[in-house]
Structure 1
């Protein structure tokens, strides 16, 4: 009887969230899915009838296929770079003295309190031909003329890493903080040095945090369009930019919806694979 009351109580607490998500997330997704199958006339106006032609166009047109693979490649590269940079940062957060730990966390999270647009414009100021980076390089005689560091994929990846890095650091730091200190001590007492202890104890126990961070970073990088639009330009072969162009310039809404769902399915597949690896790893570690 008590368990039934608790379930009802938890259901009441959960109901507002489920209703909110159903109205403002699930219903729009259903409408977008229906739109992706609707036919259009020669002026891209939606007409009666349904078709698979939009998905066929996305999955068979060489330009769109290149865009899909480029989007996934950039998301993977961004994820790998973020994980490599996030690991030492997370180690510093966890191992630093308590009086400094709060400061480092504030320093890490503070960029998230700033608009992505503002942070991206900051990169434009830094990487422009008359920007700070080129100015420093020319004044130190490292280069003779300004480098073209904007409006290319390298600039997109750099900006992506800066925007996504905190999302990789926090899960890894959480996983590191859950490691009991006596595990490292026991490993060193049994004859392992610091390097061996890291690879046999610390790294395996932080793999779940790394996978969680990879899920977040990959999802954000694959679906972002503001950052590549501002620092890379609208002609970069990325699927979010193609969706943006179909909506704002061509006004082919069903094709844009098909692109959006294709991207969402691909991201879900990658997350599902990472989730499967995470479960297998936890079973291996925990037994």
Structure 2
């Protein structure tokens, strides 16, 4: 009796085990993804990581009175801002300005963003473009415009005096009030865009269901609409807060030199006193403030999502 030797099945051959084609495809896709990510990673490394590392290293150097940078490793540049009451006040004013501008910007922008997110008008695209059109104008130009509007003889004071509401002009420039007004208007488009993109959880069906169960419009808004829109509100607040505490132009111009925040102090230390290590230390402190707020934001959003 002869035994016929059959050819091995394709699945039994080396290199053809079950799932081999899928694994090869996954490996090929992974290599493709990595190849596409490499240019972006290199660009991020060169444009962000290296300058950040250089700034952190610079903060440990010593700045001489004549502007010479002494290569060393010292904590003096951090001890001074952490022990000097002046820099504590500057840091507190910066944080307070960011919080106030963020809250006011969200309050003013929320109705606009909610309308734009819900409107079914055929001009919706045009309306959104109009809402963000101020971004096409330089922040410097808009700040100068607010200087004219809020000045002693500006539009606001002239109108109030003409209506007999005030006798003496209100001081709306060269202080934090004017800076806050200018920043709220400048950052409104950012808040509107952030909230529109974050309103994806809003649902007409849920609101109609709440209304059919007897809830009035106020309860529908407070119990359904507002909670569902919280992620967009928090995102808008975070964006405006970060932009506010890092902005330089508006506090410098509308503040008139009397408003000191971290951004203006960093500029003065860099260009006026040529103390780059100290300016780098203030920048690191500002970066830590960013990180702390972002950490709180992530915890809040995680709790909301849970």
Q: Is residue 2:166 matched to residue 1:155?
A: no
Counterpart of 2:287? Answer: 264
Q: Which residue does the alignment assign to 1:97?
A: 120
Instruction: Tell me the alpha carbon deviations over residues 169-195 of structure 1, each in whole angstroms, 9 at most, x when there is no partner.
Output: 222222334423212122222332222
Does the residue aligned with 1:98 lie in a helix, a strand or coil? coil
Q: 56, 60, 64: which is aligned to 2:87? A: 64
CA contact (8 A) 1:137 1:143 kept: yes
Q: 8 Å contact 2:174–2:254 — kept in the other structure?
A: yes
Separation in structure 1 between the aligned mates of residue 178 and residue 133 of structure 2, nearest angstrom: 22
Unaligned 5+ segments in structure 1 are none
Matches within 5 A, 1:164-203: 164-203=187-226
Q: Which moved more, 1:34-43 or 1:116-125?
A: 34-43
Contact 1:175–1:205 under 8 Å retained in 2: no
Shift of 1:226: 0.7
Counterpart for residue 254 of structure 2: 231
Map 1:247-262 → 2, pairs under 5 A: 247-262=270-285
- Runs of 4+ aligned residues of structure 1 deviating over 6 Å after TM superposition are none
Give a deviation string over 1:11-64, Cα, whole Å, max 9, x none. Answer: 222222211111111111111111100123343411131101101111110100
- The structure that has the greater radius of gyration is 2
CA contact 1:71–1:239 (8 Å) conserved in 2: yes
Q: Secondary structure at the match of 2:71?
A: strand
| Residue number among 240, 248, 265 corresponding to 2:263 in the alignment | 240
2:59/2:278 contact within 8 Å kept? yes
- Asked if residue 48 in structure 1 is aligned to residue 86 in structure 2, the reply is no
Aligned equivalents of 1:196, 1:105: Cα separation in 2: 28
User: How big is the shift at 1:269?
Assistant: 0.6
Cα distance, 1:261 vs. partner? 0.7
Structure 2 portions without partners, runs of 5+? 1-23
Q: Distance in 2 between matches of 1:3 and 1:188?
A: 50
Q: Give the structure with the larger helix fraction.
A: 1
Partner of 2:12: none
Q: Pick closer, same or farther for the CA change 1:280–1:177 going to 2, 3 Å.
A: closer
Matched, 1:108 2:122: no
* 1:82 aligned onto 2:87: no
Inter-partner Cα distance in structure 2 for 1:245 and 1:208: 37
SS at match of 1:99: coil
RMSD: 1.5
Cα distance between partner residues in 2 of 1:28 and 1:173: 33
In the superposition, the TM-score normalised over structure 2's length comes to: 0.88
